[in-house]
Amino acid sequence: MNRIRTAIASILMLGAFILVPKASSSYGVEVNHLGFNNTLVRITGEGRYVLLPIQESNDDARIAILADGKTDRTINVKLAKSKVDYFVPLDLAPYKGHNVLLNIVTTQDRSNIREAEDDACWKNIILDDTFDTSNREKFRPVFHHTPLYGWMNDPNGMFYKDGVWHLYYQWNPYGSKWQNMAWGHSSSKDLLTWEHHPVAIEANGLGTVFSGSSVVDVKNTAGFGENAVVALYTSADVSQIQSLAHSTDDGQRFEIYPANPVITLDSEARDPNMFWDADNNCWVLSLAHAIDHEMLFFTSPDLKDWTLQSSFGKGSGAQGGVWECPDLFKLKVDGTDEEKWVLVCNINPGGPFGGSATQYFIGDFDGKTFRADTDVSGNIPTKWMDYGKDHYATVSWSDSPDNRRTLIGWMSNWQYAAEVPTIQYRSANTLPREAGLFKAADGQIYMSSAPSPELIALRDRQVVKINNKSVGKKAREFSLPVTNDGVCEILLDIDCKKSVSVDIKISNKENECVTLIYNIPDHTLSFDRRESGIVDFSLDFPAVTVAPTFENDNKIALRIFIDKSSMEVFGNDGKFVMTNLVFPTEPYSTLSISAHGGSAKIRSLKVFSIKEL
Ligand code: FRU
């Protein structure tokens, strides 16, 4: 009994000890430990950002941001315990003139408050007017879009207006892994260089901000004003519901619609994608009914009231994973006046080489219902937009100029996106591409994705120029531009009538290489990255991907873009594409070409270095 009393007394004494708050201060902040796992940080100084110290390997701390005593939002951040790997900024601009307090709950194991005080984060947290975003990553691409810092997945909400391409993306500004989803924002006048803007839409009480789309409401159907930009996105919390927001400053800041949500369903549905249907004078929206493996179609006169019209997908195409990020648009079939509809359907996992990929269906849409074309045996064929491992969540810009259908995708794969060897930023987007349709030898219509015309402006010096040279078993070798870290564009036109296969090897002095093999009888091109450099961060990364070449004359024309940690191979004007990440420990410096089972003719080979952007 006595022992119990003594124990209770010492617990009470310990409690008294714990309850005495202990304050300390770094520049501009006052830190007050309330207990082992709970600390208040009050902003006492002037400064635009609180710089939060991060330790990658640590568990998340939950930070509630209070303005004048009211919780505005909550974020999860890996606050540093034993060492600081890097900082992330918490922007205080939206709270100017308000009293800001951070109520932080950490999950770190500690036995007393003194240990909590020792955490590296409290000693290093600081207020500052600037945050250094200069590049620290050797693998950061130079002509692909990347976030300045933080984790990125899907591009979404893209629209074109007054000469500017707006690109939003799924962004975690507070770390290098997926969480705290918000819409990051960048814009470009040339699709090559990107200006970075403050976060466009952030989480609110309905949830974090998942993917969606934006349109320019030219006719003011929603009542927010002519040419207001209207966005629809998924608010994700315990449920996934669809929310509206609008912007009257060309997409810089969005106001959240107070009557949200505008669509609710009783199972996971996300990534609303809308367009104006001029034939039927209404808005059309596609929504991924993720685990039901179908896309739902809604219509609306005003972007606020949506009526469910139909669904498509159950049992069609690839069904291996959840269906996400739809897009629906009409295109002309090359060389004809025939118009067909393309339904884009991103799927994860279940892609042809594991993990995420983009499938699409060709068919007809009457304003309410999508019907897919079938093959000769009456089945709906599975078609892939890209035959690499790193092409996902691809959708198109609304209101692109000149009737263009310009697409961009996330250049990674959910299998290993969080493990790739970068930290300051994680993930880039693919190069922008122009969608088209063509009829192949099997009588089917397929989608092509050719590099956007703007990419021509990347070319700097032509460092290799070869015409009409034959090649056999002995490889012909060419140097790639090592200045500018080997970043380049390769154009290779080969006639392979007399050979069985052609090997195209891109390698560096460390013997790291990517091997492309054009298999003539099979009409395929394979991309082997098993020895491409750093591959051991995930068992799913080393891989060989294979694309059909859609040719029947044994000729192949490749356009290959190498940008530090990616290789995109466009074949025969975009009839097939392969997008794959690579992490060479030093830039690739040699291109070698050899032919097997006979000789091949290099009709033309051009290598361009890339301009400083
Ligand atoms: C696709 C996706 C979307 C979702 C978003 C969340 O990669 O899973 O379905 O909106 O990412 O970040």
What average pLDDT score do residues 325-348 get?
98
Atom of ligand 1 lying closest to residue 212 CA: 10
pLDDT at 301 over 60: yes
% of the chain beyond a pLDDT of 70: 96
Atom of ligand 1 lying closest to residue 210 CA: 10
| 162-166, 184-188, 264-268, 514-518: range with lowest mean pLDDT | 264-268
Look at 551 and 226; give whichever has higher pLDDT: 226
Please report where in the chains the tokens 């991907």 appear, as a residue.
Answer: 545
Q: How confident is the model at residue 18 (pLDDT cuts 50, 70, 90)?
A: very low
What average pLDDT score do residues 4-11 get?
41
Q: What is the pLDDT of residues 63-105, one digit of tens each?
A: 999 999 999 999 999 999 999 999 999 999 999 999 999 999 9
The verdict on whether omega for the bond into residue 401 sits within 30 degrees of 0, i.e. cis, is: no
Q: Which residues contact 11 (CB under 8 A, 6 or more apart)?
A: none
What average pLDDT score do residues 273-282 get?
97
Residue 601, both tokens: 């003719």
368 closest CA partner among 474, 279, 445: 279
Is 154 noted as a catalytic residue in this protein?
Answer: yes
User: What spacing in Å lies between the alpha carbon of 255 and ligand 1's midpoint?
Assistant: 22
- The per-residue pLDDT for 294 is 97
User: What spacing in Å lies between the alpha carbon of 88 and ligand 1's midpoint?
Assistant: 23
User: What spacing in Å lies between the alpha carbon of 216 and ligand 1's midpoint?
Assistant: 23
Give dist(CA 27, CA 513) in Å, integer: 49
Longest dimension (CA), the chain: 98
pLDDT at 8 over 50: no
Specify the residue with its C-alpha closest to ligand 1, atom 9: 324
Q: What is the 3-state secondary structure (H, E, C) of 13-75?
A: HHHHHHHCCEEEEECCEEEEEEECCEEEEEECCCCCEEEEEECCCCCCEEEEEEECCEEEEEE
**270, 344, 348: which to mutate for ligand 1, most atoms within 8 A of CB?**
270
- The residues pairing with 64 across neighbouring beta strands, listed in sequence order, are 74, 103
- The per-residue pLDDT for 23 is 60
In what helix (H) or strand (E) does residue 284 lie, and over which residues does it extend? strand 282-289
Q: Which of 154, 217, 485, 528 is catalytic?
A: 154
- The per-residue pLDDT for 11 is 38
Q: Decide if 87 contacts 52 (C-beta within 8 A).
A: yes
Q: Which residues contact 613 (CB under 8 A, 6 or more apart)?
A: 142, 143, 192, 193, 458
Q: What is the pLDDT of residues 422-461, one digit of tens each?
A: 999 999 999 999 999 999 999 999 999 999 999 999 999 9
User: What spacing in Å lies between the alpha carbon of 4 and ligand 1's midpoint?
Assistant: 53
What is the pLDDT of the chain when averaged over all its residues?
Answer: 94
Enumerate residues lining ligand 1, CB below 6 A: 153-154, 170, 181, 210-211, 234, 270-271, 324-325, 393
Q: What is the pLDDT of residues 402-427, one digit of tens each?
A: 999 999 999 999 999 999 999 999 99
Give dist(CA 91, CA 100) in Å, integer: 11
Residue 158, both tokens: 């893209």
Q: What is the pLDDT of residues 200-233, one digit of tens each?
A: 999 999 999 999 999 999 999 999 999 999 999 9
pLDDT at 12 over 80: no
Q: How confident is the model at residue 114 (pLDDT cuts 50, 70, 90)?
A: confident
- The per-residue pLDDT for 25 is 65
- The per-residue pLDDT for 90 is 97
- The per-residue pLDDT for 235 is 98
- The per-residue pLDDT for 17 is 37
Q: Decide if 112 contacts 36 (C-beta within 8 A).
A: yes
Q: Decide if 247 contacts 227 (C-beta within 8 A).
A: no
**151, 172, 210, 273: which to mutate for ligand 1, most atoms within 8 A of CB?**
210
pTM above 0.85, yes or no: yes
What average pLDDT score do residues 274-295 get?
97
| 471-475, 482-486, 571-575: range with lowest mean pLDDT | 482-486
- The per-residue pLDDT for 5 is 42
Q: Decide if 425 contacts 184 (C-beta within 8 A).
A: no
Give dist(CA 539, CA 430) in Å, integer: 23
Residue 210, both tokens: 């998942």
Burial of 377 (0-12, 13-18, 19+ CB in 10 A): exposed
Q: What is the pLDDT of residues 123-162, one digit of tens each?
A: 999 999 999 999 999 999 999 999 999 999 999 999 999 9
